[in-house]
Amino acid sequence: MKLRNRLLTAFLIIILVPVLLFCVVLAGLRNYQAQALEQAYGMENVQEMIYGTSIQFFDNLTKPVQEKLGQAAEENPDQLTDADILDAWNRELEERHSYLVVKKAGQMIYCGVDSMPVKLLEQLPDYGEAGSFHDGGFYTGSDTRCLIKQQDFRFSDGAEGSAYIVTPMRLMLPEVQSMMTEMFVAVVIILLFTATILITWIYRSIIQPLAQLQKATREIKEGNLDFALEVQGTKDEIGQLCMDFEAMRRQLKQSAEEKIQYDMESKELLSNISHDLKTPITAIKGYVEGIMDGVASSPERLDKYIRTIYNKANDMDKLIDELTFYSKIDTNRIPYVFTKINVASYFKDCIDEVGIELEAKNIELGYFNYCDEDTVVIADAEQMKRVINNIISNSVKYLDKRRGIINIRIKDRGDFIQVEIEDNGRGIAQKDLPYIFDRFYRTDASRNSSQGGSGIGLSIVKKIIEDHGGKIWATSRESIGTVMHFVLRKYQEVIYE
């Protein structure tokens, strides 16, 4: 849920949930209070009266005493002068929050309260003004706010009499007061309940992720990238922010690890370069000193010294060229020139070129082409030659047999050609095979150091093959030899009809 929708939902919860809960609680309390009023005052259908007017409720509240007054006025009016009887009726009215007033010949002979308001006394109607006894009464309004029921009659001596049931409307029944108190408590509980739900929801969906994000920021500030920012079940803006932050942390960690690895590889490269340059330079210095000291006295020896110096200088040139090409790989700036190349003629020329050098080293070279003479691939001729030379140089470096053998096979694989370069060298251990194309990886650091090399030859080969859309891998058996395999896609001319 988006943050905007979450806030809108929270707003609706704040408005609707308390209202709905209040309505439910109010209905329950009114039912409960109606039952309490029915039990306290012996009334029926209190529920309907509660939903009606307050005058209607108080009118029904005093009906039992009203009926007694009416019966006494008809059967024995003189009872209305008996103080004991009047006190008994007044006590019953007090229980119903009302009181009794009796007048005879216009003079008040009984009042159920200690002090009756003067304004109310003045508002009491005289005999005959309210008509005959009726179920309802009249509301005085103004400051007195009383419901007055009047019963007119005549005493046995013929004097006019009136009995009044006065119900102050400003009073609140104890049951209603209790109901109001319970409603107030219910409202407070509902608000607390709603606030608790919202606070919990907001804390879990907003505050908690922000706290985790803040903690993660401090971790990165302190240089610690070895942690995981886990935010579950959030798909809003904050959740997306946390996921983006976690992705950034992983990238930073990867970059830091790559930098550490790069620094280690750079140090190793410098060490290898120092060794690989020092070896031919030492040899060159030795032979040059021999020439200067006159050791090479004969033309044959002088020619040998000069040829050796040339070969060592040539090795240094190859090493520098390899390092220059490696720097282009590191910045993805290899200058490729792709053209159509005939497989048969191209590999035949490569074999002729390296064959002379291998023959001088007493290494047997075999070449087998199983592709059609017109098979063509799209490739960079110069870079593919670098691939073949690097693989063959690597094979020559680790040949340990008295007579070395290198075989090159070109096979047809449907839409691809597969090139296999096999040697009978010492082989590569199975545990090392997955890593031989990694930069600076050495299967045996001590022996490789003695053989020379920067440790980046096969990584260059892999990069070139992959940039051609091909794939390279190796198979090997220790003490028997190694086979390098790589595939290149054939050129297929598209014919438009």
pLDDT bucket at 235, cuts 50 / 70 / 90: low
pLDDT tens column, 362-377: 899 999 999 999 999 9
275 and 353 both lie in a single domain: no
| Predicted pLDDT of residue 94 | 84
Report the distance separating Cα 470 and Cα 477, nearest Å. Answer: 24
Contact 82, 69 (CB under 8 A): no
Last residue of a domain, one of 282, 306, 327: 327
323 and 340 both lie in a single domain: no
Question: How many domains, in total, are found in the chain?
Answer: 3
393 and 347 both lie in a single domain: yes
pLDDT tens column, 245-263: 888 888 888 888 888 877 8
365 and 429 both lie in a single domain: yes
pLDDT tens column, 130-182: 654 445 566 666 666 788 888 888 888 888 888 888 888 765 555 556 666 77
> Phi-psi category of 187—alpha, beta or left, where left has phi over 0 and alpha has psi -120 to 50?
alpha
> Phi-psi category of 223—alpha, beta or left, where left has phi over 0 and alpha has psi -120 to 50?
left
Assess whether pLDDT exceeds 70 at residue 81. Answer: yes
Last residue of a domain, one of 155, 171, 187: 171
| Predicted pLDDT of residue 279 | 78
225 assigned to some structural domain: no
244 by Cβ neighbours in 10 Å (0-12 / 13-18 / 19+) ranks as exposed
359 assigned to some structural domain: yes
The residue written with tokens 């075999």 in the block is 366
322 and 346 both lie in a single domain: no
| Predicted pLDDT of residue 52 | 42
| Predicted pLDDT of residue 324 | 76
In terms of pLDDT, which residue wins out, 323 or 409?
Answer: 409
- What CATH number did the domain enclosing 58 receive? 3.30.450
Of 165, 125, 168, 119, nearest to 145 by C-alpha is 168
Contact 443, 429 (CB under 8 A): yes
Assess whether pLDDT exceeds 80 at residue 334. Answer: no
272 and 149 both lie in a single domain: no
Q: Most confidently modeled of 58-62, 63-67, 345-349?
A: 345-349
| Predicted pLDDT of residue 51 | 43
Of 471, 475, 469, nearest to 491 by C-alpha is 469
Strands 363-369 and 404-413: parallel
| Predicted pLDDT of residue 44 | 57
pLDDT bucket at 128, cuts 50 / 70 / 90: confident
146 assigned to some structural domain: yes
| Predicted pLDDT of residue 71 | 87
Instruction: Lowest mean pLDDT of 269-273, 353-357, 407-411, name the range.
Output: 269-273
455 assigned to some structural domain: yes
* SS3 state of residue 146: strand
293 and 371 both lie in a single domain: no
| Predicted pLDDT of residue 98 | 87
Report the distance separating Cα 358 and Cα 155, nearest Å. Answer: 152
- Tell me what the mean pLDDT of segment 395-404 comes to: 88
Q: Most confidently modeled of 167-181, 218-232, 299-313, 343-357?
A: 343-357
* SS3 state of residue 486: strand
pLDDT bucket at 449, cuts 50 / 70 / 90: very low
| Predicted pLDDT of residue 387 | 92
Helix axes 381-397, 343-360, angle to 10 degrees: 30
- Beta-bridge mates of residue 420: 409, 485
**DSSP code at position 490:** B
pLDDT tens column, 23-47: 777 777 667 666 665 555 555 555 5
Assess whether pLDDT exceeds 50 at residue 55. Answer: yes
**DSSP code at position 98:** -
In terms of pLDDT, which residue wins out, 182 or 80?
Answer: 80
Q: Which amino acid is at 120?
A: L
Assess whether pLDDT exceeds 90 at residue 489. Answer: yes
| Predicted pLDDT of residue 331 | 66
196 assigned to some structural domain: no
269 assigned to some structural domain: yes
453 and 361 both lie in a single domain: yes
pLDDT bucket at 446, cuts 50 / 70 / 90: very low
- The DSSP string of 261-297 is HHHHHHHHHHHHHHHHHHHHHHHHHHHHHHHHTT---
Assess whether pLDDT exceeds 70 at residue 231. Answer: no
Report the distance separating Cα 478 and Cα 484, nearest Å. Answer: 14
Close Cβ partners of 99 (under 8 Å, ≥ 6 residues apart):
90, 93, 111, 112, 113, 165, 166
Q: Most confidently modeled of 313-322, 325-334, 340-349, 434-443?
A: 340-349
In terms of pLDDT, which residue wins out, 192 or 111?
Answer: 111
Contact 98, 61 (CB under 8 A): yes
444 assigned to some structural domain: yes
Q: What is the mean pLDDT of the chain?
A: 79
311 and 446 both lie in a single domain: no
- Beta-bridge mates of residue 365: 406
Assess whether pLDDT exceeds 50 at residue 5. Answer: yes
Last residue of a domain, one of 301, 327, 353: 327
Diameter over CA atoms, the chain: 178
Structural tokens at position 140: 């005085």
pLDDT tens column, 174-218: 555 666 677 777 777 877 787 777 777 776 667 777 777 788 888
Report the distance separating Cα 208 and Cα 214, nearest Å. Answer: 10
- What CATH number did the domain enclosing 264 receive? 1.10.287.130
State the DSSP H helix or E strand holding residue 381, giving kind and residue range, or none if neither.
helix 381-397
469 and 368 both lie in a single domain: yes
| Predicted pLDDT of residue 4 | 61
pLDDT bucket at 49, cuts 50 / 70 / 90: very low
Domain that holds residue 90: 53-171
Give whole-number Cα distances, 284 to 136, 275, 305, in Å.
134, 14, 9
Given strand 363-369, what is the order of strands in its sheet? 363-369, 404-413, 416-423, 481-489, 471-477
Give whole-number Cα distances, 115 to 110, 120, 146, 401, 438, in Å.
12, 11, 15, 134, 110
290 and 397 both lie in a single domain: no
Contact 245, 10 (CB under 8 A): no
- Tell me what the mean pLDDT of segment 9-15 comes to: 69
- What CATH number did the domain enclosing 412 receive? 3.30.565.10
480 and 360 both lie in a single domain: yes
Contact 397, 428 (CB under 8 A): no
Structural tokens at position 486: 């790589």
Q: Most confidently modeled of 21-35, 268-282, 286-300, 367-381?
A: 367-381
195 assigned to some structural domain: no
